[in-house]
Every structure is written in C-alpha cells, then in structure tokens.
Structure 1
C-alpha cells in the first residue's frame, strides 16, 4: 500500500485521482503548498496558507473523531491541480456531494463509474442538451471540461458523509474567495485582463460576484431538483459562456463529453 512518503512530488498534479489510501488529511497538512496545488496556485493561495492548514488539521480531527469526510484527501484540492493560468471558465458550486463515492474534488462531477448520477448533474445535462443539442451522458466524469480550462470549484471543499453543508463556516470560504479573486485579477504583460467567464448557479455561488470585478457573469438558479425550474432551465449557460469567451478573443469550450469516461 503506498504512503505519502512514496508519492512523487508532482503526482498530485495529475487530473486522474491519486488512490484514496495514498495520503491522509494529516499528511496534507504537513506538505509544502507547492506539493498540494499547481505552482501558480501555490503563489496565489500563499496569503491563505495558514487558514488552509487550519482547515486540513480540522479535517484530520474530524477523521480521528470517527467522522467520514468527503472527498478523500487525495482529491480534496483536485480543482487546484489545474494551472491557474489555464482557467477560462469558472463554475462555482456549493459543497461536495455528501453521498459516499460521489465527491471527486470537482464541483458537480462524480467518478465515471457512479450510477445513477446525481440529480443536479442530470439537470445540467438536460440544459446542455437544450442549449447546444449535446446528448446527456450516463456518467458524471467532467474532466474533459477541466482539461479545457473549466475550473469546477465548490465554495466549500469538504463535507461529512451524509451531512450536506456540514463544513461550511470552517474556513474554506476565505480560501476559495482568495482563489476566485486571483482568477479575476489576472492581467497580461500589457495589463489587459486575462479572458474569463464565471458561471454562478444558486445563491451561494452568487455571493462571490463582488470578487469577480469586471469578469462577465452568467448567473441563474441552482440545477438542484428543488430550484432548476426556477431559472436554471432555459438559462443557456454553455452557449452564452462561449459567446463571452469569443468576445474576449479566447475561442470556445467544446462542452460535449465522451459517451463513456
């Protein structure tokens, strides 16, 4: 069984998950920031390194106290393995799915083998079909979006199994706010803003709007079954995001996912 001592220093940067047993929250708390996230994210998150370590220590105590925590430590900071410089679209979620086996460190995504997919994700696929005519998939692997610079970031990056929202107010909000601010404040060598579109689904996501400055925002209700019919369906976020990217000279995202992961 591999341990944290046997991990390559850059293994955590792979988008494919590290085996869940490879590292624990206590080990994460002791690793240098540059081994937890991509190098440019390490620089951006340096101002909140202390709070991040406090959250990691809190998660270690949760586990020691007998609470199961999601996602596994190996995927906790997965969203930040994608280089900051590559991000073109930001999709903000709330907190991870609390169902065992669902949370993979990317908002709204699940492991490709998970069946059935969560209902919020099924609604995202319905809107993707209505918006761009792309057929819904039976799997929830969204890594192809991440590969194209779509940052799937929850406001809170952990949760107790079976207790949605249980890790809100534990420090994650300040960390993800710093990350979002770093994205919005990127400029080229000529001082021109780096292309970015933010997609905000639900009230928790909308709360980050003040952090985004002049970044174009697409906001609607959350895709949850409780709210999707109140403004998510019909919002056309995917085509609108592509139009806004093109207006900034940054091409488009191919939102079609492979039939199988």
Structure 2
C-alpha cells in the first residue's frame, strides 16, 4: 500500500469533497488559508509509507504568514523557531549529547528519514488557531493513523498533549511503540515533556526492531 491508495480512496468520500468545497468557498471569499495549497500534503510527500518509522502528531498548522508548510511543528527556513519547537530541540539536546540545536525550524530532514510529521487538521485560516478543526480533516487523518497501524510493524508513535493522546485508540500498541507526554508548548512542557526521553527511547526501539535509528540533527 502507498499513500496515493489511501488518499485516492478518501477523496471519493462525501466528507472529503465537503472539505475541498469549504476551502474553495473560503478562498473565493478572500480568506487566506495556510499552508499554501501545494504544501497541504507535504507530510505525505516527504515521508513515503514504505519508509515510515516514526509518527509525530501535531494539531493544526501554524496560522501566521510564512510558517506552515505541511509538516507538524516545522517552519520554513528563515522564520523564527516557534516556542514548542524550541522545547523539542531542548529535549533533544538534553537527552542526546551529539544533538546540536539548529538555527532554523525546518524538519524536512526528519521527514525524509521516515519521521511522519502529521497535523490532525491539515489547514487553518490565517491568524485563527483551530479554525478548521471541525471541517472533516480529522476523519481523514484518523483513517491515515489507523491505516499506518494496520499495515506497518514497529512504528514509534509520539503522542504529545491530550489531543494527540486521544488518538491512542487508533493504534495497535501490541505491534507498535506508543510514547506519551504533555505537549511541548511552554504552557505544559515542564509538566512532563522535558525529560520524557522520547527521542532516546525511539532510537533504542528502532535499533532493536529495524537495525537503524533516526539522526535527529538538522544541519544546513
């Protein structure tokens, strides 16, 4: 199975057509939607299903200009690193001695190694957080999570915060590793995310099950 099999099937369903109609209507009304149309499915573009090793779930895209580009927690180069991603870097630096905190927030290198950076809602209206949370995207992304669980073995799922943790029921924990903590947001990072050791635990599991690990460094 490849992504296009899943996406093509879902695109035929009424709920998906409603999503596309909603977006077209908003754009026709002059609303600005993030990420840009060509970037909405970037998580699927950069991480092939065959190569998928890790799933990190976000909620909805960043809602300011020049930030969102279709990968959860990631921003385009040249943009300030958001606070949640700063805390992700902080956890990496504290737990993996060779990790060097980068000067950018673009996580494409992770995605290319098999880290699937999926927001559960794939679009947002400019400056309105969670504005598209009820338009149907979660029906799609719940299906994606379920298909990954069904069709893959030994994937590491990182569920940060209550929204992501609510997706645990979609994952077969008997054949995957599910890691849970609070969200890396400054509001909650000190209540469990910082010190969670997820990136170390992830690599230990991948080495044991697959014989290789993720290089979390982001050079360039």
- TM-score, structure 2 normalization: 0.93
Mapped pair 1:45 → 2:7: yes
Conserved 8 A contact 2:58-2:119: yes
Q: 1:250 to 1:185 in 2, by over 3 A?
A: farther
**Aligned-residue offset at 1:244:** 1.5
Higher RCO, Cα 8 Å, sep 6+: 2
8 Å Cα contact 2:88/2:184 also seen in 1: yes
Matched residue of 1:248: which SS? helix
Which secondary structure state, in structure 1, belongs to the residue aligned with residue 159 of structure 2?
A: strand
Once the two structures are TM-superposed, the CA of residue 47 in structure 1 deviates from its matched residue by 4.0
Q: Using the alignment, how far apart are the partners of 2:199 and 2:163 within structure 1?
A: 20
SS at match of 1:239: helix
Question: Distance between the aligned counterparts of 1:153 and 1:228, measured in 2?
Answer: 20
Q: Give the length in aligned residue pairs.
A: 214
Q: Does 1:106 align with 2:71?
A: yes
3-state SS, counterpart of residue 107 of structure 1: coil
- The yes-or-no answer on 1:237 pairing with 2:194 is no
Shift of residue 52 of structure 1? 2.6
1:250 offset after TM fit, Å? 4.1
Tell me the residue number matched to 2:178.
217
The question of 1:57 aligning with 2:21 is answered yes
- Structure 2 distance, partners of 1:99, 1:184, is 32
What is the aligned partner in structure 1 of residue 157 from structure 2? 198
1:143 matched to 2:105? The reply is no
Cα shift readout 1:73-117 (whole Å, capped 9, x = no counterpart): 010111111321110000000100111110010000000121x21
**Higher Rg of the two aligned structures:** 1
Residues 154-233 of structure 1: pairs in structure 2 closer than 5 A: 154-187=119-152, 194-214=153-173, 215-233=176-194
Q: Tell me how large the CA RMSD over aligned residues is.
A: 1.3
1:178-222 superposed Cα distances (whole Å, 9 cap, x missing partner): 1111111115xxxxxx23110111111111101111221111111
Q: Per-residue deviation at 1:60?
A: 1.2
Taking structure 1 as the reference length, the TM-score comes to 0.79
Deviant stretches of 4+, over 4 Å: none
Distance 1:141 1:121, change over 3 A: same
Aligned pairs for 1:2-151 (under 5 A) are: 40-49=2-11, 50=13, 51-81=15-45, 82-114=47-79, 116-133=80-97, 134-151=99-116
* Cα distance in 2 between the residues matched to 1:179 and 1:163: 25
1:22-67 Cα distance to aligned partner (Å, 9 max, x none): xxxxxxxxxxxxxxxxx81121234422233321221111111121
- Structure 2 gap ranges (5+): none
8 Å CA contact 2:154–2:177 kept in 1: the answer is no
